[in-house]
Amino acid sequence: MRDGTDNESDNDSPLSLRCTCCGCSTPGGSSPGGSRMLAPTANHDATRDAWLAAAMASAAQPAEEHGGGHDEVLVERAQFVREQLALLQRYAFMCTLLAQHQHWLNEPPTSASEWLVPLRFPVKLTPKTRSYLLEGLATSLAAFVNELHHASVHTSVEFLEPGPDRLGVGTAEFANAMAADLWVQTTQLVDRETATTQARTRLLQLLDDFAARAVADERSRLRALHGHCACLRDACNDFGRRLLVGRRRTEPDARRKTARHWLTSAGRGGACLAVRVLVRRRRSAAVFAQLDVGRMVAAFGSLDTLDDRAAEELYDCMERTHNKLATAMTWEVRRIDWLTETPATHPCWSGVVIAADACDHNADERLLMAPSHMAGFATGRLRVVVDPALQQTAYTCGLTRVRVARLLAQLLRGGHLPLNRIDRAFARRVTAYEFAKYEQAAMRIEIDTLGPFGRAVRVAYAPGAVAAAIAAGNLDSQIISLERTVRVGVLC
């Protein structure tokens, strides 16, 4: 059987009269807009059936009326024509449902929330339309998650852990993975393989697990640094004790001797490795730069080649900074101890939250753009702002990946980002594209099969089944015509 759509078997049977927007299975079910679902038009079906009966009777007449015997070719084509006419009536019914859905989408919304409509259509989408729809959703979600990543990196930067995480290095891959997870769950909603609640629950579990893993990885790095910070702290305190015992030596030889003895002792205790590790870490490297302890760092890198001038410079450097450096390392040790005991759900790991947009926002707060297939969040304009709970937090360790995961989870939990809603304009484009496919398939059946058969049996066929069905349902076919050639996937 000829089928003008991508896969005719993928569409709901018109005999069931099932509305896939609301799930009703009777002709009198309600559409999302509250109007009645249309059953196949009786007058329209009767007209086509009457033509079929007349054509079949003419084809079966003795051939003397046609100038010969029975025309067996026409008789053989009769069954094929019957099947094509049934398919045509089905396509006309699909067009009627889509036109009704488009009519509802064109109605002006009464509130801001009504700009978002259910991700449901009155017919099951054909494979190509489904492919374009999912392509548009994938593009939209990927752009949105990357926008969320950008907003998280540039909001309250001072609370982010210095290093690659503050620059967002490595987080782009995570953002793409999160967009892919969103797309997978949305695809299952389009294919009706899952419920909205189940899809949201799975996504929240994925986001919570990822944030917990990111925090666990950071704790492991912090525990590895704990011993190095404690070692350098103890070395600084040891230098202070040597100053007290030596009563701040002023003789150059004594100062050089003290510096060499301290450097050797600290190196044996692990301070040499500690300095090499900490100088590569941005937080501690910033402390070293602020205290100007470059001479100490250089000295630990040349234990066996420390000349007299370098030894004197090391003594002067440590005499000036050992207390401040010991204090900084003590603070870092306490910070690591606190963070390693803090749960992954604590605000210290993120530092930002989602809040409603306000006129008196701070310059550091970022306006968050909604996915293009939604055109706006379900609850209005939103911003990424500093978490007020940080005012009661002793230490912070903001991680970009945790921020993105927590913000996305907050959007899902708060109903700001419904997985089963799309913008009205996007829904109109999808509906128009699907309508055009059924309309063109119906026209091909009329032009290629029914018209030639009618001429052969001398019972003319009057084309226009789709237009007649829409007219019988008191719907305006022009609501479709302006967007028939739109490719849905590129519009998100």
One-character DSSP codes across 132-175 = HHHHHHHHHHHHHHHHHHHHHHTSSGGGBPTTHHHHTTTHHHHH
397 and 432: one domain? Answer: no
Q: Are 137 and 186 in contact (CB under 8 A)?
A: yes
Tell me if 410 is assigned to some domain. Answer: yes
Q: Are residues 251 and 265 in the same domain?
A: yes
Which two structure tokens, joined as six digits, stand for 467?
A: 């237009």
Q: Residue 54 and residue 229: Cα distance in Å, rounded?
A: 96
**Are residues 29 and 22 in contact, defined by beta-carbon separation less than 8 angstroms?**
yes
33 lies in the same domain as 95: yes
Q: Which residues of 348-385 are buried (b: 16+ CB within 10 A; e: fewer)?
A: bbbbbbbbeeeeeeeeebbebbbbbbbbbbbbeebbbb
The residue with tokens 């030894």 is: 311
User: The dihedral of CA 112, 116, 118, 120: what is its sign?
Assistant: positive
Residue 313 shares a structural domain with residue 355: no
380 and 280 part of one domain? no
**Cα(258)–Cα(251) distance, integer angstroms:** 11
Residue where a domain terminates, one of 291, 314, 340: 340
Question: For position 380, what pLDDT does the model report?
Answer: 87
Question: Which residues neighbour 56 within 8 Å (Cβ) at sequence distance 6 or greater?
Answer: 78, 82
pLDDT at 295: 84
Q: Kindly tell me if the per-residue pLDDT of 163 is higher than 70.
A: no
Of 122, 115, 125, 108, which Cα lies nearest the Cα of 32?
Answer: 122
Residues 336 and 362 in one domain: no
Alpha-carbon gap, residue 298 to 310, rounded angstroms: 9
Q: Does 444 reside within a domain?
A: yes
Is 483:431 a contact under the CB 8 Å cutoff? Answer: no
Burial of residue 449 (CB within 10 Å: 0-12, 13-18, 19+) is buried
Residues with Cβ within 8 Å of residue 234, at least 6 apart in sequence: 269
Q: How far apart are CA 444 and CA 453, in angstroms?
A: 13
In DSSP terms, 117 is beta-bridged to 422
**What are the Cα distances from residue 24, in Å, to 130, 335, 376?**
22, 59, 29
The domain total for the chain is 3
- Over residues 217-222, the mean pLDDT reads 92
Tell whether 147 and 59 lie within a shared domain. Answer: no
Question: What's the pLDDT score for residue 203?
Answer: 92
Say if residue 131's pLDDT is above 60: yes
Range in 76-80, 169-173, 210-214, 311-315 with the lowest mean pLDDT? 169-173
Residue with tokens 């009627």: 96
Q: Are residues 297 and 251 in the same domain?
A: yes
The model's pTM is: 0.77
What would the mean pLDDT of 352-362 be, rounded to a whole number?
76
* CA-based nearest residue to 100, from 472, 489, 483: 472
What are the tens digits of pLDDT across the range 373-391? 988 898 888 999 888 888 8
DSSP run (H or E) holding 202: helix 196-246
Residue 167 placed within a domain: yes
Name all contacts of 41-48 with Cβ < 8 Å and 24+ positions apart.
41/96, 41/468, 41/469, 41/472, 41/473, 43/472, 44/89, 44/92, 44/465, 44/468, 44/469, 44/472, 45/89, 47/462, 47/468, 48/85, 48/88, 48/89, 48/465
- As given in the structure block, the two tokens for residue 314 are 């090391």
Q: Which of 316, 340, 364 is the last residue of a domain?
A: 340
Its domain, for residue 454, covers 8-120+424-491
Residue 328 contacts by C-beta under 8 Å, 6 or more apart in sequence?
Answer: 287, 291
pLDDT at 247 over 70: no
134 and 36 co-located in one domain: no
End position of a domain, from candidates 419, 454, 473: 419
pLDDT of residue 487: 43
Lowest-confidence region among 70-79, 104-113, 313-322, 361-370: 70-79
Position 205 scores a pLDDT of 93
Say if residue 83 is in the same domain as residue 21.
yes
Q: Per-residue pLDDT for 240 more than 50?
A: yes
Contact 37, 24 (CB under 8 A): yes
Do both 225 and 334 map to the same domain?
Answer: yes
Q: How far, in Å, CA of 435 to CA of 449, rounded? A: 21
Q: Is 408 helix (H, G, I), strand (E, B) or coil?
A: helix
Distance CA 275, CA 231 (A): 9
